[in-house]
Homo-oligomer: A and B are copies of this chain.
Amino acid sequence: MKIKVSRKEHFNAAHRLFNPAWNDEKNFKVFGKCSNPNYHGHNYELIVTLTGEPNPETGYVYDMKVLSDLIKEHVINQFDHKNLNLDTEFFKTLNPTAENIAVVIWKILREKIDQSLDVKITLYETERNFVEYPAS
């Protein structure tokens, strides 16, 4: 009897899409205004979904307060009000597309959550653009 439980959090960050293997001209051709060298930013909405069996004593798959605290400690504290390219280790060499940010967040949280639970990340970069990882 598996159930999915989800918690939504948010962080506000600056970023720039940029492949250091390319020159500026190529970066602008591929990433357009998202490659503005002075950065731009977003209100990221993050949904973390865990799948598993509810605990028969609590009726919880996972305590949402504990999940919220875990996301805040390990994700929000690192990314909120930061420049993703300059202020985090993760995106010094990795391009901070929504896809890559979602995978990074998944890796951070996957190792903090018991292996009996599946972990999935949904990340809204804007109200109209969002990604999900893993896809299945």
Contact = CB atoms under 8 A, between A and B. Distances in A.
Interface of A: 1-10, 12-15, 17, 19, 21, 30-34, 36, 38-43, 51, 54, 57-61, 64-65, 68, 80-83, 86-87, 94-100, 102-103, 126-136
A38 B83 contact: yes
Contact of A3 (B15, B33, B99): B99
Given A59-B99, A65-B32, A39 B39 contact: yes
A103 B6 contact: no
Given A3-B133, A134-B1, A81 B36 contact: yes
Given A5-B131, A6-B130, A103-B1, A39 B36 contact: no
